[in-house]
């Protein structure tokens, strides 16, 4: 969660607004209604249906990909801007309200007029997404993990994995490890792919009378113990400037279109980013980042990252509230510097 | 199945491999792509080179080499050592800076009480608290990242550091 404000995402919040069917007699899964959308799943696929041009339209997403995307959208409180689950389905955050769309940011579908968008109060769509995650995530599947670390999302309903989808979310006010701030991760094990990362802490030599006023920690150790992938979490706060490092493995489960500029600094290993037009999805660039590389993600693109080895990435956000309007009005250019 | 251990690749002044941009449409310069080790390699000691700019907020790359001046700021700043070892000394200023953005020089001998020091190795992060003075010391060349706000000491030289 990379924002200063926080949403109530407890399982019970707005639960009475969730419209769920009884479990299907064959697959065991419930289906859900969200306005004019219907969401259902079977052994392999999630099916999303919506009305357009007098017909029912539909789209299928593999269940594992859908659950990984929904997990991020829920954990991030709908994040900044557009969270595209794939080239068709996604959400747009209006910070209090959220659009769910089908095809609206796909150039071909939109041109054909078969797209559909509906706006929801955040508590309703959040409660529905959480109910979907609880029902559709089977025992043994962790939608926050990389594929090599977890079991299968496929098949008929068998158990659940509430622990995985309701992990405590870190909200850092100043810096982890300070009194009354988010904790360090000494209790979590080092991830198998970071076994070679040194675990020593910085030496702090406070003068007499200043005990507890100096603060430092091993950021790489902290990241090596992250138990989730692709989950920017705040590690330092300079007014609205948020350092949100995260550990990445496999594919970013969403194609993120930001409503502001963000920056990536690759701290270890390598990520390849597919970059496309935010509005219609047409490809723009493919960026390879290795340790020490830093680059901006302009405000008019969407991006999706690929990381073979688990890698450390610093995501840098500016959490100033009025930025989406300033970019949309043209007051601010989509890219951050001119030279 | 291979039993070779995973190797985590970090960069350093002496050993980094810069990435690349394959453009399909648009301009590479809009991504302001640079490599912090390359930037630090071309910079004067403790030159605060802006490698990330977001509406006044910055990430600066500093070549840590020898002793820096005393710095201060009216707001929190953060330093991460990404190569080498650096000592950070802290002073509780008698007259802390309370206004303005970004890092300022605190003068050659700022008045205050020594708070102690921290020793940062690669990957270690320190809080540089608002209103304190701090000074870096590094016996060998290293690299620091500083999270702060654009200030009078910030150096922008995008055309020299970015892919075009």
The string of pLDDT tens digits covering residues A232-242 is 999 999 999 99
Confidence of residue A132 (pLDDT cuts 50, 70, 90): very high
The string of pLDDT tens digits covering residues A148-175 is 999 999 999 999 999 999 876 678 999 9
Confidence of residue A15 (pLDDT cuts 50, 70, 90): confident
pLDDT at A110 over 90: yes
d(CA A218, CA B79): 12
CB within 8 Å of chain B, chain A residues 253-292 = 261-263, 265-270, 282-292
Mean pLDDT confidence for A128-152: 97
Nearest one of A191, A154, A186, A204 to A312, comparing CA atoms: A191
pLDDT at A4 over 50: no
* A289 → closest Cβ in B19, B37, B145: B19
For chain B, list residues with pLDDT below 70.
1
Mean pLDDT confidence for A130-158: 97
**Residue in the structure block whose two tokens are 């702060």:** B148
CB half-sphere exposure, A126, CA atoms < 13 A:
23
Does residue A199 belong to the interface with chain B, where contact is any CB pair within 8 Å? Answer: no
Nearest one of A318, A245, A4 to B56, comparing CA atoms: A318
**Other CB atoms within 10 Å distance of the CB of residue A79:** 22
Which residues of chain A make contact with B115, given a CB cutoff of 8 A? 206-207, 210, 213-214
Torsion angle in degrees (nearest 10) through CA of A323, A328, A332, A336: 80
Q: What are the percentages of helix, strand and coil residues in chain A, rounded to 5?
A: 15, 35, 50
Does residue A324 belong to the interface with chain B, where contact is any CB pair within 8 Å? Answer: no
Mapped onto helix, strand or coil, the DSSP state of residue A243 is strand
Mapped onto helix, strand or coil, the DSSP state of residue A283 is strand
**Residue in the structure block whose two tokens are 């030279």:** A339
What percent of chain A shows pLDDT beyond 70? 96
Nearest one of A100, A132, A111 to A36, comparing CA atoms: A100
Mean pLDDT confidence for A32-60: 98
Q: How close does chain A come to B3, measured CA to CA in Å?
A: 12
pLDDT of B23 reads 98
Which residues of chain B make contact with A267, given a CB cutoff of 8 A? 10, 82
- Residue A323, phi-psi category: left (phi > 0), alpha (psi -120 to 50), beta (remainder): alpha
d(CA A266, CA A310): 12
* B9 → closest Cβ in A198, A237, A269: A269
Residue A8 vs residue B125, higher pLDDT: B125
pLDDT of A2 reads 43
pLDDT of B1 reads 59
ipTM of the complex: 0.98
What percent of chain A shows pLDDT beyond 90? 93
Both tokens assigned to B99: 């206004």
Mean pLDDT confidence for A268-282: 97
Output the 3-class SS for A135-196.
Answer: HHCCCCCCCCCCHHHCCCCCCCCCCCCHHHHCCCCCCCCCCCCCCCCCCCCCCCCCCHHHCC
Which residues of chain B make contact with A217, given a CB cutoff of 8 A? 124-125
Inter-residue contact B48 to B60 (CB < 8 Å): yes
- H or E element in which residue A66 lies: helix A63-75
Which residues of chain B make contact with A281, given a CB cutoff of 8 A? none
């Amino acid at each position: 969660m990379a924002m200063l404000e926080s949403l109530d995402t407890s399982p019970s919040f707005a639960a009475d607004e969730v419209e769920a069917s009884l479990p299907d007699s064959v697959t065991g899964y419930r289906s859900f209604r969200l306005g004019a959308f219907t969401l259902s799943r079977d052994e392999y696929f999630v099916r999303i249906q919506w009305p357009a041009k007098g017909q029912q339209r539909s789209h299928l997403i593999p269940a594992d990909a859908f659950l990984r995307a929904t997990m991020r959208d829920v954990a991030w409180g709908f994040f900044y801007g557009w969270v595209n689950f794939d080239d068709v389905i996604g959400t747009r955050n209006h910070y209090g309200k959220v659009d769910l769309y089908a095809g609206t940011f796909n150039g071909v579908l939109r041109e054909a007029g078969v797209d559909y968008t509906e706006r929801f109060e955040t508590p309703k769509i959040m409660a529905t997404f959480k109910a979907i995650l609880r029902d559709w995530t089977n025992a043994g599947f962790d939608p926050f993990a990389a594929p090599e670390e977890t079991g299968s999302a496929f098949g008929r309903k068998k158990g659940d994995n509430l622990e995985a989808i309701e992990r405590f979310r870190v909200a850092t006010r100043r810096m982890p490890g300070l009194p009354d701030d988010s904790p360090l991760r000494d209790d979590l094990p080092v991830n198998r792919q970071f076994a070679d990362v040194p675990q020593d802490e910085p030496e702090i030599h406070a003068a007499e009378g200043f005990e507890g006023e100096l603060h430092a920690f091993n950021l790489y150790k902290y990241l090596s113990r992250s138990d989730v992938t692709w989950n920017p979490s705040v590690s330092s706060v300079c007014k609205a400037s948020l350092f949100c490092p995260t550990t990445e493995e496999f594919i970013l489960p969403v194609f993120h279109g930001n409503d502001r500029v963000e920056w990536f600094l690759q701290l270890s290993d390598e990520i390849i980013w597919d970059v496309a037009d935010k509005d219609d999805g047409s490809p723009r660039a493919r960026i390879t980042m290795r340790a020490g590389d830093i680059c901006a993600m302009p405000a008019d693109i969407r991006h999706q990252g690929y990381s073979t080895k688990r890698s450390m990435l610093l995501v840098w956000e500016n959490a100033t509230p009025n930025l989406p309007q300033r970019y949309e009005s043209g007051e601010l250019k989509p890219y951050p510097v001119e030279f | 199945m291979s039993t070779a251990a995973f190797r985590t690749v970090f960069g350093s002044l002496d050993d980094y491999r810069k990435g690349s941009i394959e453009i399909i449409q648009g301009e590479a310069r809009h991504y302001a792509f640079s490599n912090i080790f390359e930037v630090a390699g071309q910079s004067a000691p403790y030159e605060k080179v802006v490698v990330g700019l977001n509406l006044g907020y910055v990430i600066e790359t500093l070549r840590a080499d020898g002793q820096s001046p005393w710095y201060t700021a009216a707001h929190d700043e953060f330093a991460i050592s990404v190569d080498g070892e650096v000592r950070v000394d802290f002073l509780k200023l008698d007259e802390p800076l309370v206004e303005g953005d970004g890092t300022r020089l605190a003068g050659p001998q700022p008045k205050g009480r020594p708070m102690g020091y921290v020793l940062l190795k690669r990957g270690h992060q320190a809080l540089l608290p608002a209103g304190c003075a701090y000074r870096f010391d590094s016996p060998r060349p290293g690299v620091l990242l500083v999270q702060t706000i654009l200030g009078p000491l910030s150096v922008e030289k995008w055309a020299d550091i970015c892919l075009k």
